């Protein structure tokens, strides 16, 4: 179907007094947009009618960030996870993709704990990954996103978790180039490479009331996994 040219349509509207001219409501480009505030004085005034109210376009202020952005995450399929062990490291794998790594002995439960944790989610996220410190792993903070809906059991969970007051979290510079930390009074929850990482860590920690750690490496630079609950 051919469209009536716009100029001809406008002319017909003028000639047909008292007749309303329609528009194609299915065309998004036909709807007007209002990006600025229009003053009532800018509208045409009529002695027999009150001025039309001003049209405004309210642009809400950006909401405070609820998660670190940009996020550094590994996405995976929670239904396709396995555990591999070699040379003192338990690795949770999605095919050839490493989802999580924890140090521990061959007969220890860290691998099964990490597997049960990973199965609860679809993304494993990090703060501070890639920092250049000698003991880099001590400054990497883990958190987990996108629930899978699975309610797995992490053995010994009460023993690997500790409580804190999420309404009383402080971000501190440890000085001397030692990095930053998030703590609850005297309870240091985690170390971070710089202030930005520490503030992102506090953002995540403020969502929970307990912090848990899987893996008990004898060296602070070995792999372990944290999560909140």
Q: Are strands 170-173 and 89-94 parallel, antiparallel or unpaired?
A: unpaired
**CA pair distance 180, 194, nearest whole angstrom:** 6
Q: What is the pTM of this model?
A: 0.71
pLDDT of 32 above 60 = no
Within a domain: 140: yes
Residue 216: per-residue pLDDT: 66
* Residue 31 lies inside a defined structural domain of this protein: no
Whether residue 199 has pLDDT greater than 70:
yes
Residue 22 pLDDT greater than 50, yes or no: no
End-to-end CA distance of the chain: 61
d(CA 129, CA 140): 6
Sort residue 212 into left (φ over 0), alpha (ψ -120 to 50) or beta. beta
pLDDT tens digits for range 76-130 = 999 999 999 999 999 999 999 999 999 988 989 999 999 999 999 999 999 999 9
**Given this model, what pLDDT does residue 5 score?**
43
Write the pLDDT tens digit of every residue in 138-153.
999 999 999 999 999 9
Higher pLDDT, 208 or 10: 208
Would 62 be classed as within a structural domain? no
Residue 112 neighbours by CB distance under 10 Å: 17
Count: domains in the chain: 1
CB of 131 closer than 8 Å to CB of 198 = no
pLDDT(55) > 70: no
Q: How confident is the model at residue 215 (pLDDT cuts 50, 70, 90)?
A: confident
The upper half-sphere exposure of residue 114, i.e. CA atoms within 13 Å in the direction of its Cβ, equals 31
**Over 90: is that where the pLDDT of 63 sits?**
no
> Is residue 217 one of the residues assigned to a domain?
yes
Q: Does any domain span residue 137?
A: yes
The mean pLDDT of 207-221, rounded to a whole number, is: 81
- Does a structural domain hold residue 61? no
Could you tell me whether strands 141-147 and 121-127 are parallel, antiparallel, or unpaired per DSSP bridges? Answer: antiparallel
- 20 Cβ partners below 8 Å, 6+ apart? none
Asked whether 9 and 20 are in contact (CB, 8 A), the reply is no
User: SS3 for 32?
Assistant: coil
Q: Is the predicted pLDDT of residue 197 greater than 80, yes or no?
A: yes
Over residues 191-195, mean pLDDT: 98
* The pLDDT value given to residue 179: 98
Mean pLDDT score of the chain, rounded to an integer?
Answer: 80
pLDDT of residue 217: 59
Domain that holds residue 79: 72-147+154-228
- Does residue 193 belong to any structural domain of this protein? yes
Assess if residue 114 is contained within a domain. yes
């Amino acid at each position: 179907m051919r469209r009536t040219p716009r100029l001809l349509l406008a002319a017909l509207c003028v000639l047909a007094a008292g007749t309303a001219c329609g528009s194609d409501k299915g065309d998004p480009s036909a709807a007007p947009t209002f990006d600025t505030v229009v003053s009532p004085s800018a509208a045409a005034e009529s002695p027999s009618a009150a001025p039309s109210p001003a049209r405004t376009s309210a642009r809400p202020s950006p909401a405070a960030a609820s998660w670190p952005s940009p996020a550094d995450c590994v996405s995976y399929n929670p239904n396709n996870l396995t555990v591999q062990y070699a040379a003192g490291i338990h690795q949770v794998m999605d095919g050839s993709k490493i989802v999580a790594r924890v140090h521990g002995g061959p007969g220890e439960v860290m691998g099964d704990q990490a597997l049960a944790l990973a199965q609860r989610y679809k993304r494993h996220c990090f703060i501070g990954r890639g920092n250049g410190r000698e003991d880099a792993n001590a400054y990497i903070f883990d958190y987990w996103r996108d629930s899978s809906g699975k309610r797995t059991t992490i053995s010994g969970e009460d023993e690997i978790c500790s409580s804190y007051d999420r309404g009383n979290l402080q971000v501190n510079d440890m000085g001397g180039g030692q990095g930053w930390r998030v703590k609850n009074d005297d309870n240091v929850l985690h170390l971070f490479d710089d202030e930005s990482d520490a503030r992102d860590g506090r953002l995540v920690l403020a969502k929970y009331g307990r912090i848990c750690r899987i893996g008990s490496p004898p060296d602070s630079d070995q792999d372990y996994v944290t999560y909140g609950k």
